[in-house]
């Protein structure tokens, strides 16, 4: 988390980009910076029952919040975001509330049909307090050691204890495993969009830079003009929208699928790689199609430096592989879509202990990923990705085939692996992830946080 109370902020510094200057001192760190590795921390969800106390809490939290400018100087920091009901609880005037997009105002739970959160994933089955309307503020505490964030959380709990109208609803802990793998065994956190003007976090191979306004409000988007933003300008500028998802990983089910479909020519590890588009080490199939290359998977200078235009049929990386769906890169799509306006900044944090190696039956323990996505177009972008790129195959010319890892396959899904002389089609894909909860939130810039504090009843 950030420096403690009493911190004095330096004057705003601007990063010249050729377009309007980027006010990196005013943008919260997760918008432009990759999360650290290793990482430890938690998400804290709060309810506000008195606007005055809510603003007092925010005033005390602001010094802890890291900007994109000072993030790398800290070993621990915090980020903060607000749901629509949270902005209401803080006393934001109706004229401002009405300027937010309808999807944000309605909330993730009420739009479950747009995100395929049906059946076992529907909000009625979500863990409380997700989807109840009680979540007003989400604060993420993150550090490179386990002790730092716990010390900061203790401080904040003491502060909350002095404000009786503030309720701590839940504390969700997470931490990177020793091998930096997700519960399904894949290395995570190895990509980040190439954002124009963002010199600190780009990774080679990101393709043509994407306009900053696709991720941060108040700057030109890919159309050349800024996207509509909440009003007044001080509230919207340098802010963005965030989606927060708690996803349970059905590890035993995934392992059984790999085992049941393995052959002499398709090992379990190769099937897992074909489904993801990367070996579980992180090495991309586009660069290492036949054998795993852990050294490549750990090399940030090479691990994302590839495209798909030279693999049109998917012999190296299947068209329907998860990472190819979520970022088609330079590949022409069967259904016209502008890839740049559908990219999101993704931060994933793992929770729960790994299922022991070789275990093929579920042990009932909660484990999975906190999936955070950031976009100035979210939640529209997230709903598009879920509907069109994850749960539909038309844009890749794959008919009704869904994402083999993140799609709602319901035990009847199929996945095509192009091979010579005959392709291989896997049947019986199931749901390998299950939604435990989620919220849409707004992540304001630092000036907007100060504006919220100064509101009056």
Residue-wise pLDDT tens digits, 406-419: 999 999 999 999 99
Does one domain contain both 336 and 197? no
Answer whether 13's CB lies under 8 Å from 70's CB: no
**70-79, 297-306, 334-343: range with lowest mean pLDDT:** 334-343
Range of the domain at 222: 24-244+443-453
Does any domain span residue 174?
A: yes
Tell whether 18 is covered by a domain: no
Residue of 299, 42, 298, 321 whose CA lies nearest to 179: 298
| pLDDT tier, 334 (very low <50, low <70, confident <90, very high otherwise) | low
Q: How is the beta sheet containing 240-249 ordered, strand by strand?
A: 166-175, 40-48, 137-143, 76-82, 433-443, 240-249, 368-375, 345-351
> Same domain for 399 and 448?
no
Look at residue 10 and tell me if it is in a domain: no
Regarding predicted confidence, which is higher, 415 or 70?
415
Residue 32 shares a structural domain with residue 119: yes
pLDDT at 1 over 70: no
Mean pLDDT of the chain: 90
Residues 267 and 198 in one domain: no
The answer for residues whose C-beta is within 8 angstroms of residue 402's C-beta and 6 or more apart is 390, 391, 392, 393, 408, 409, 413, 429
Looking at the structure of the chain, the number of domains it has is 2
Q: 240-249 and 137-143 as β-strands: parallel, antiparallel, unpaired?
A: unpaired
Whether residue 311 sits in one domain with residue 239 = no
**pLDDT at residue 30, as a whole number:** 93
- pLDDT at 234 (0 to 100): 97
If asked whether residues 173 and 204 sit together in one domain, one would say: yes
Residue 235, pLDDT above cutoff 50: yes
67, 68, 225, 317, 457 from 24: Cα distances, Å: 7, 5, 20, 37, 31
**Is 12 inside a domain boundary?**
no
User: pLDDT, tens digit, for every residue of 256-298?
Assistant: 999 999 999 999 999 999 999 999 999 999 999 999 999 999 9
pTM: predicted TM-score of the whole model, two decimal places: 0.91
**pLDDT for the residue 71:** 81
pLDDT at 178: 80
- 22: which strand partners? 15
For the segment 134-180, what is each residue's pLDDT rounded down to a tens digit? 999 999 999 988 998 999 899 999 999 999 999 999 999 999 988 88
Backbone angles phi, psi at 285, to 5 degrees: -60, -30
Residues 45 and 29 grouped into a single domain? yes
Q: What pLDDT is recorded for position 4?
A: 36
Asked whether residue 17 is assigned to any structural domain, the reply reads no
**Distances from the Cα of 329 to the Cαs of 33, 70, 94, 224, 365, in angstroms?**
21, 31, 41, 21, 37
pLDDT tens column, 33-56: 988 888 999 999 999 999 999 999
Question: End-to-end CA distance of the chain, in Å?
Answer: 30
């Amino acid at each position: 988390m950030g420096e403690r109370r009493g911190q004095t902020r330096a004057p705003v510094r601007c990063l010249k980009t050729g377009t309007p200057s980027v006010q990196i001192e005013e943008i919260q760190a997760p918008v432009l910076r990759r999360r650290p590795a290793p990482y430890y921390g938690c998400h804290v969800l709060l309810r506000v029952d008195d606007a005055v106390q809510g603003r007092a809490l925010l005033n005390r939290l602001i010094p802890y919040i890291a900007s994109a400018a000072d993030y790398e100087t800290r070993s621990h920091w915090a980020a903060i975001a607000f749901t629509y009901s949270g902005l209401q609880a803080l006393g934001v005037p109706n004229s401002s509330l009405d300027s937010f997009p309808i999807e944000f105002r309605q909330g993730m739970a009420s739009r479950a049909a747009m995100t395929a959160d049906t059946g076992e994933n529907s909000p009625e089955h979500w863990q409380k307090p997700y989807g109840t309307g009680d979540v007003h503020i989400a604060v993420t505490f993150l550090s490179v050691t386990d002790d730092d964030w716990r010390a900061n959380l203790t401080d904040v709990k003491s502060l909350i204890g002095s404000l009786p109208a503030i309720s701590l609803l839940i504390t969700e802990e997470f931490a990177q495993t020793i091998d930096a793998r997700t519960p399904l065994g894949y290395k995570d956190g190895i990509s980040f969009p190439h954002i124009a003007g963002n010199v600190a976090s780009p990774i080679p191979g990101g393709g043509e830079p994407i306009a900053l306004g696709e991720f941060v409000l108040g700057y030109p988007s890919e159309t050349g003009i800024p996207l509509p933003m909440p009003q007044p300008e001080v509230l919207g500028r340098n802010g963005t929208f965030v989606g927060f998802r708690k996803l349970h990983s059905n590890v035993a089910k995934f392992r059984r699928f790999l085992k049941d479909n393995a052959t002499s020519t398709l090992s379990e590890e190769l099937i897992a790689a074909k489904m993801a588009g990367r070996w579980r080490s992180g090495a991309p199939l586009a660069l290492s199609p036949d054998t795993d290359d852990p050294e490549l998977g750990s090399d940030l200078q090479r691990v994302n430096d590839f495209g798909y235009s030279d693999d049109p049929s998917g012999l190296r990386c299947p068209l329907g592989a998860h990472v190819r769906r979520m970022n088609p890169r330079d590949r022409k799509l069967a259904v016209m879509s502008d890839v740049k306006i559908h990219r999101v900044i993704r931060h994933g944090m793992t929770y729960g202990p790994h299922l022991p190696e070789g275990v093929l039956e579920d042990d009932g323990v909660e484990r999975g990923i906190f999936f955070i996505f950031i976009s100035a177009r979210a939640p529209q972008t997230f709903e598009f990705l879920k509907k069109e790129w994850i749960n539909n195959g038309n844009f890749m010319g794959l008919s009704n085939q869904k994402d083999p890892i993140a799609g709602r396959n319901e035990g009847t899904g199929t996945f095509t692996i192009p091979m010579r002389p005959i392709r291989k089609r896997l049947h019986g894909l199931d749901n390998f992830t299950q939604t435990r909860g989620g919220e849409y939130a707004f992540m304001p810039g630092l000036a907007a946080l100060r504006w919220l504090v100064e509101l009056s009843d």
